[in-house]
Amino acid sequence: MTGTTVQPSPRSRFLRNVLTLTGGNALALVLPILAAPLLGRIYHPAEYAALAQYMAAAGLFSVIASLQFHHAIIAEATDRAANDAYWLCILSGAACSLLALLGVAVLWPVWLFQTAAGAWFFWLPLGVMASGFIIAATTLTNRVGRYRGMAGIRVVHVTVTISASIWLGLEGWSSSGLMVAYLLGQLTQVLVYAGMIGSLFRRYPLPRLTRLRVIARRHRRFPIFTMPGAFCYQLNMQLPVFVMTAIGAEAALGAFNRARQLVSAPVTTIGQAVMQIFRRDAAQQYRKTGDCRPIFLRTALGLFAVGLPFCLLLMATAPSFFELYLGPAWREAGDLARILAPMLLMQVVTAPLSTVFFFTGHQALDFGLKVISSVTMIVLLCGAMALDASVRTIVICFALALTLTYLISFLLGFKISRQQ
């Protein structure tokens, strides 16, 4: 009698992969939360301002580091072509780092030297190159389903960053301790991913320029439409940092940045794990049948069920919880976290699902949505500054603009998840 191997259903395989990646990320989620009370008493809100300013600039450059060609790594049908797309991302990151160096050189004498981050901006070019590599390596690792390895790298990255932050803070490094810890964490990711990528794709030679041109031409919609759209989205996320820097509210900026980090950590960790797997499985399903709506809806409902209780709890208890957990200096951060709660719920639901715009060929639609969102954000924040320039009003306008953007993105994503 010949035995047969029962293949797992797509739904059970998807759930298993989500649990693997989410479970591996659980420690990476718990560690910052456990360390938060100690860090909250080592560092004051104003000391997080430099980190917020540096991360805002790094976030904008990281969007253009790969020219968004990392999406081609998932979209390509063969591993050889995916490897070519990976090297295209690496070259793009190197070019973008030179652009960052030029930007720092031009802006340093007229503005950057006055900010809390100051001379730390000179590390930005190397940070941009590292970000481009990490994005490409993460996508390539996701393509081959190495979810345990991805989760392990996340744990190592968080452990190094937190340990360095605590040690340097106790040594009296102040805001410089946060900056050094952030850069060490990024370096750790680069080194570990480099080892993993080398073992996975050693069999493929370095692609010739002719092959890179073929990949770039085939996926030109990503730099033309996806990159500007992603840049607009990242600009939306960082505009409050720039506005608070402009009005000189460094203590409030540190409180806002820390609040956003802590309250978004649980939902973002889950959302990123789901996004990696949804993008892979939904793209495969769409290529085969032209319909990924069932997995789109299942993913949305699951994320909403996970995020809603956290959102309600945050709205009810954030100010008093932050004051008790982090220390008396952090009550304002809790008040800002309460304002951000509904926006974060919409973010955790729609962020993974937004990848449907990429593998269905609707980059232009996604770009249009991001442009409208940026215009709305700028108008609201300018209005807030004109009215009273209070940090609370700025954060309310920021959260409102993003909530509307996420809602429209979900509705459009649902529509295009099935070929008409």
CA 368 to chain centre: 20
- Give the residue ranges of the chain where pLDDT is below 50: 1-6
Closest CA to 21 of 291, 268, 272: 272
Contact indicator for 124, 61 with CB cutoff of 8 Å:
yes
The three-state secondary structure class of 418 is strand
Q: What are phi and psi of 418, to 5 degrees?
A: -130, 130
pLDDT at 158: 92
Distances (CA, A) of 142 to 134, 138, 191, 254, 349: 12, 6, 17, 33, 20
Distances (CA, A) of 296 to 14, 27, 133, 420: 12, 27, 29, 16
**Alpha carbons 193 and 43: distance in angstroms, whole number:** 31
Q: What is Dmax (Cα atoms) for the chain?
A: 80
Signed CA dihedral, 155, 156, 157, 158: sign only = positive
pLDDT at 212: 95
End-to-end CA distance of the chain: 47
**Alpha carbons 402 and 407: distance in angstroms, whole number:** 9
**Alpha carbons 49 and 215: distance in angstroms, whole number:** 40
**Alpha carbons 23 and 29: distance in angstroms, whole number:** 10
Cross-strand pairs, 418: 291
Closest CA to 239 of 402, 11, 124: 402
Distances (CA, A) of 267 to 64, 302, 308, 367, 406: 25, 12, 10, 25, 15
pLDDT at 25: 67
Which amino acid, one-letter code, is at 74? I
Contact indicator for 50, 179 with CB cutoff of 8 Å:
yes
